[in-house]
Amino acid sequence: MDQRFSNRQSLMDAATVLAARRAIDRELAHLIADPFDREAAKRLHDAVGANADRAQEALERLMPVTELREPWAPEALGPATDTTREEPAP
């Protein structure tokens, strides 16, 4: 990973994606309510244009984060070993 992981940056990126989606969904709902509303169509076009690049950049920054594993997850521990542990007798 080129950059150091930042929980704060990841939260900001997730918020950016959600805000972009909300803006687009809001304008889409207006257009669905009245499919012949030219102003709603223009606002949807503008919302998609304004938010698509921003959301794509944020998603690209989030992709490496989705590949991180929790330190206690089995796949984070590495390959399984064949050694068995014996528990002490009571």
- Tokens at residue 14, please? 């997730």
Q: Which pLDDT score, from 0 to 100, does residue 76 have?
A: 54
Q: Which pLDDT score, from 0 to 100, does residue 9 have?
A: 83
- Residue 79 or 28, more confident: 28
Does 9 fall in a domain?
no
Does 48 fall in a domain?
yes
Q: How many domains does the chain have?
A: 1
Does 83 fall in a domain?
no
Does 6 fall in a domain?
no
Q: Which pLDDT score, from 0 to 100, does residue 1 have?
A: 45
Boundaries of domain holding 36: 28-69
Does 21 fall in a domain?
no
Q: Which pLDDT score, from 0 to 100, does residue 60 have?
A: 87
Does 47 fall in a domain?
yes
Distances (CA, A) of 34 to 26, 37, 60, 81: 13, 6, 34, 63
Does 54 fall in a domain?
yes
Helix count (H) and strand count (E) of the chain? 2, 0
Does 11 fall in a domain?
no
pTM value surpassing 0.75: no
- Tokens at residue 19, please? 């805000």
